[in-house]
Amino acid sequence: NAGVTQTPKFQVLKTGQSMTLQCAQDMNHEYMSWYRQDPGMGLRLIHYSVGAGITDQGEVPNGYNVSRSTTEDFPLRLLSAAPSQTSVYFCASSYSTWVSGNGYTFGSGTRLTVV
């Protein structure tokens, strides 16, 4: 098992550009989510999905879109990048924290810089 795979690991964008951060998991997890991590802010939830075809907004969804066409993949789209979106982005998945008690499995992150 590869776990949660995020690509790319690093990215530099110009203001106004769009891009997609990829996230894939091979554990058949139903729940997937995107967090951003900023210094002094902790992890903040952007969007999440409880299964294929179902997505919902988290704490900081503005400027981001998601879709979940398969169980395995949960891409995050930046529509028009802004310097405020400079951050480290983590994708996480879980089968069910209540049933398994194992919490989330996180990817290794994408470090995004918007100039």
Instruction: Point out which residues bind another protein (CB under 8 A).
Output: 4, 31, 33, 35, 40-45, 48, 50, 58, 90, 92, 94, 96-98, 101-109
Q: Are 66 and 77 in contact (CB under 8 A)?
A: yes
The Cα 71–Cα 40 span in angstroms is 33
CB 42 to another protein: min, Å: 4
Which tokens sit at 36?
Answer: 């951003």
CB 94 to another protein: min, Å: 6
CB 112 to another protein: min, Å: 14
Q: How wide is the angle at C-alpha 35 spanned by C-alphas 34 and 39, nearest 5°?
A: 160
The residue (of 14 and 103) whose beta carbon lies closer to another protein is 103
